[in-house]
């Protein structure tokens, strides 16, 4: 569930609040506005980080269940363990990301988010190298996009 931060102006809130993805609406609408919008990009980024955190927990749960019910072949077990460890690592990075947001440290923020993108794709690569069709491809694709979008917001935020 995405809710818009209170820091935006009421007109913009009315435009995006009723959409399915108000944060994405906000991000895509702002560049087309002639006047400066009263918005705090950090608050949008915090919402994105929380959304990624929820999806990572879901992915971790799914990967753990799939590992439990997998054929117990060594390559599949190895691949699931790579993904599970990477997902756990991404969850652990949440606090460093939120600290970087709080401090306005865009360099550290980019490092953390880029590292998380790498961990997602490393999970998928493990399955490809083992020549196993990944049952969590959709999950990885979604997570990769979400984290990449957060990285884009971070880069845009520097120019705000």
> Mind spelling out the 3-state secondary structure of the chain?
CCCCCCCCCHHHHHHHHCCCCHHHHHHHHHHHCCCCCCCCHHHHHHHHHHHHHHHHHHHHHHHHHHHHHCCCCHHHHHHHHHHHHHHHHHHHHHHHHHHHHHHCCHHHHHHHHHHHHHHHHHHHHHHHHCCCCCCCHHHHHHHHHHHHHHHHHHHHHHCC
Kindly state whether residue 4 falls inside one of the protein's structural domains: no
User: Mean pLDDT over residues 132-137, rounded?
Assistant: 86
Residue 97 makes CB contacts below 8 A (sequence gap 6+) with: 49, 109, 112, 113
Structural domain of 29: 10-157
Task: Return mean pLDDT, the chain.
Answer: 80
Kindly state whether residue 5 falls inside one of the protein's structural domains: no
pTM score > 0.85 for this model? no
In this prediction, residue 101 carries a pLDDT of: 83
pLDDT at 6 > cutoff 50:
no
In this prediction, residue 71 carries a pLDDT of: 67
Kindly state whether residue 130 falls inside one of the protein's structural domains: yes
Kindly state whether residue 3 falls inside one of the protein's structural domains: no
Q: Please report which confidence band the pLDDT of residue 158 belongs to, taking 50, 70 and 90 as the band edges.
A: low
What tens digit of pLDDT does each residue of 79-125 get?
Answer: 999 999 999 999 999 999 988 888 888 889 889 999 999 999 999 99
Query: How far is residue 37's CA from residue 119's CA, in Å, rounded to a whole number?
Result: 35
In this prediction, residue 72 carries a pLDDT of: 66
Query: How far is residue 160's CA from residue 158's CA, in Å, rounded to a whole number?
Result: 6
CATH number of the domain where residue 72 is located: 1.20.140.40
* Domain count across the chain: 1
In this prediction, residue 28 carries a pLDDT of: 67
């Amino acid at each position: 569930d995405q809710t818009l931060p209170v820091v935006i102006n009421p007109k913009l809130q009315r435009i995006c609040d009723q959409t399915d993805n108000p944060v994405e609406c906000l991000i895509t609408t702002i560049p087309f506005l002639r006047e400066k919008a009263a918005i705090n990009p950090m608050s949008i980024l915090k919402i994105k980080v929380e959304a990624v955190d929820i999806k990572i927990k879901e992915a971790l749960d799914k990967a753990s269940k799939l590992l439990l019910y997998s054929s117990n072949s060594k390559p599949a077990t190895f691949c699931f363990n790579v993904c599970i460890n990477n997902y756990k690592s991404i969850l652990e990075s949440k606090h460093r990301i939120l600290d970087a947001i709080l401090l306005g440290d865009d360099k550290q923020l980019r490092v953390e988010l880029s590292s998380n993108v790498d961990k997602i794709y490393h999970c998928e690569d493990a399955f490809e190298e083992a020549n196993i069709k990944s049952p969590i491809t959709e999950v990885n694709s979604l997570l990769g996009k979400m984290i990449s979008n957060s990285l884009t917001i971070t880069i845009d935020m520097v120019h705000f």
